[in-house]
C-alpha cells in the first residue's frame, strides 16, 4: 500500500437532489430512494489540506463544476436542471465528506483521463 499525496471529498446527494430527480418530466426511475442515491457517490481527489475548512473552501471554488457534473450524470439536457445553482443551493443539495488519508492498494500506475466537459 502507498500513501497518496491527496485528500478526498465524497459528494453525497441530499433530499433536494432526489426531489429534483423525481420532479423531472417523464422520469422513469421508480422507487429511487435517498439511501440508494447515496450508496455509490462521486469521489474527488483534492490537494492535501491541513485543515478540513481549507478543503471545504476548495470545494466552494469548484462547486459549480461539481454541481453541473452531478446533474449531467442524470440528465444532460440543461433545460431540465434547476434554475438556482448557487453555492447556497449546492450545499443544500449535497453533503461533502472530506477525508485526509488516501492509500493506493494497487501496485500499478494510475491511468488519467479527463472528465467529461460539462
Q: Which tens digits make up the pLDDT trace of 30-89?
A: 778 999 999 999 999 999 998 889 999 999 999 999 999 999 999 999 999 999 999 999
Q: Domain residues for 65?
A: 2-104
Taking a C-beta distance cutoff of 8 angstroms, is the pair 11, 40 a contact? no
In a domain, 91, yes or no: yes
Mean pLDDT, residues 93-109: 91
Handedness of CA 24, 25, 26, 31 (dihedral sign): positive
Tally of domains within the chain: 1
In a domain, 117, yes or no: no
In a domain, 112, yes or no: no
Whose cell is 471554488? That residue is 61
Q: Cα 43–93–24 angle (5° rounding)?
A: 105
In a domain, 98, yes or no: yes
**What pLDDT is attached to residue 1?**
87
In a domain, 111, yes or no: no
CB neighbours (10 Å) of residue 106? 8
Amino acid at each position: 500500500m502507498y500513501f497518496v499525496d491527496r485528500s478526498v471529498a465524497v459528494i453525497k446527494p441530499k433530499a433536494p437532489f432526489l426531489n429534483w430527480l423525481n420532479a423531472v418530466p417523464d422520469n422513469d426511475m421508480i422507487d429511487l430512494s435517498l439511501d440508494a442515491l447515496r450508496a455509490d457517490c462521486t469521489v474527488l481527489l483534492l490537494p492535501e489540506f491541513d485543515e478540513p475548512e481549507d478543503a471545504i473552501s476548495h470545494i466552494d471554488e469548484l462547486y459549480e463544476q461539481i454541481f453541473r457534473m452531478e446533474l449531467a450524470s442524470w440528465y444532460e439536457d440543461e433545460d431540465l436542471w434547476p434554475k438556482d445553482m448557487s453555492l447556497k443551493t449546492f450545499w443544500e443539495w449535497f453533503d461533502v465528506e472530506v477525508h485526509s488519508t488516501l492509500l493506493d492498494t494497487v501496485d500499478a500506475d494510475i491511468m488519467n483521463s479527463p472528465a467529461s466537459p460539462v
